[in-house]
A and B are shown apart, each in its own frame.
Chain A
């Protein structure tokens, strides 16, 4: 049954007796056309678009824990399309368009809020770089607006504009960017996929991938073997382990990225602010908490929690940018496992095993990619051809050196992104 404002009122009047579970809890069948390993944002959106765009509904999503229990529930909810490089630019542009139609498409309130993403400028050189980036965004068909100092002040008066080390010269404003409720995105895709017949199977860990004669035949799981004509690995933080079940060694090193949230405050910040020079960004959630984060801890880790040095660095950056928020108390912090590729860009590709597909390497930017990543992965699974906006996310670009997507311009090396 569809969700609507009318239904919320009706169920309120009926003492909420009409709500039913949002998705089924099926036992795994012995065979599927497509098995997707990983019930996070990317896996669930892949399943949804397989059903919606390609009519492939004999699909199972296998999740070792619960749906949306990984990075899709641990990120800082920012959605944007402010990329520079061809390859990334058109992909994130496509993703943002899908975000804009997502709530209607899924019939689910994902609390998509296009409150704008503001990237601050602290020097003439940085302004030049952002002018170039803004022009690339506009030529891609997205929006970008260069603000001067007073323009930034009107938008975010909270900033310390005259900080001696990082005086604010202006900013690049991307108005169509913003935030979305991260869990709701997973739940919305899960419900929409389930309604189209996809089996969402939780507490089902994949323990092996069956390959015969160079082609995938199915998977072994903690709930028994499942045959499948096609299998997609969409497991983010466990990409290396699952790929190893298929005999693959990936260009991935897993790192921890921390995030923080403060106690709930009255509205003080109605846009996303990115302070790149301090490796810091911040927004305010609809509940009132300041949601902020910084850079990776910068060493391989699966701990799902960070260390004090980066927590200190993030707090220092927060105090540098917005001294006023020093009065707010930090409510909690957590970490997610980032599957870092050498050039900082993702991989959506086929593998040497026929019928086995790989979606990984989202680094610290997977959330905003959820719709387009699923769309592209579904396209690749269904047609065997890469979806045009994601066509450059090839696995072999590291081996050949052709088509590296080094958005940060720091070099294609594991410890640099």
Chain B
């Protein structure tokens, strides 16, 4: 699998660290209740199909990117810098 880093172009999956589902972009407020934090930390939609997840271009430009891809086929549909993703 190759991931299209918006800064570096198509790069090998080995250059990236996988963080997990993009749900982690929506961090609850510190005073949010246990259920909100549980949902943020643990609960996942875990879709069989199109998903969005976060990758860190560790061995490249150091950017955090959000990748849209298909978990059934490993097809990569796109990627964007997370600073451009609306919170």
Contact = CB atoms under 8 A, between A and B. Distances in A.
Interface of A: 238, 240-241, 244, 249-254, 298-303, 307, 309, 342, 398-400, 413-415
B51 interface: yes
Nearest to A313: B14
B29 interface: no
Given A301-B74, A303-B73, A241 B41 contact: no
Nearest to A342: B42
Given A302-B48, A309-B13, A415-B20, A251 B43 contact: yes
Interface residues of B, number: 26
Interface in B65-87: 71-74
Q: Is the interface of A mostly helix, strand, loop or mixed?
A: mixed
Interface centre among B13, B20, B46, B72 (most CB of A within 10 A): B46
A299 B18 contact: yes
Nearest to B35: A399
A307 B1 contact: yes
B13 to A, nearest CB: 6
30 contacts: A238-B48, A240-B47, A249-B43, A249-B45, A250-B43, A250-B46, A251-B38, A251-B42, A251-B43, A252-B44, A253-B44, A253-B46, A254-B48, A254-B71, A298-B18, A299-B18, A299-B53, A300-B21, A300-B71, A301-B74, A302-B48, A302-B71, A303-B73, A309-B12, A309-B13, A309-B14, A342-B42, A398-B42, A414-B44, A415-B19
B39 interface: yes
Contact of A300 (B14, B41, B53): B53
Contact of A241 (B39, B48, B51): B48
Contacts of A342: 41-42
B34 interface: yes
A240 B44 contact: yes
Contacts of A250: 43-44, 46
Nearest to B14: A309
A284 B53 CA distance: 38
Interface centre among B12, B21, B38 (most CB of A within 10 A): B38
Contacts of B14: 309
A309 B1 CA distance: 9
A307 B13 contact: yes
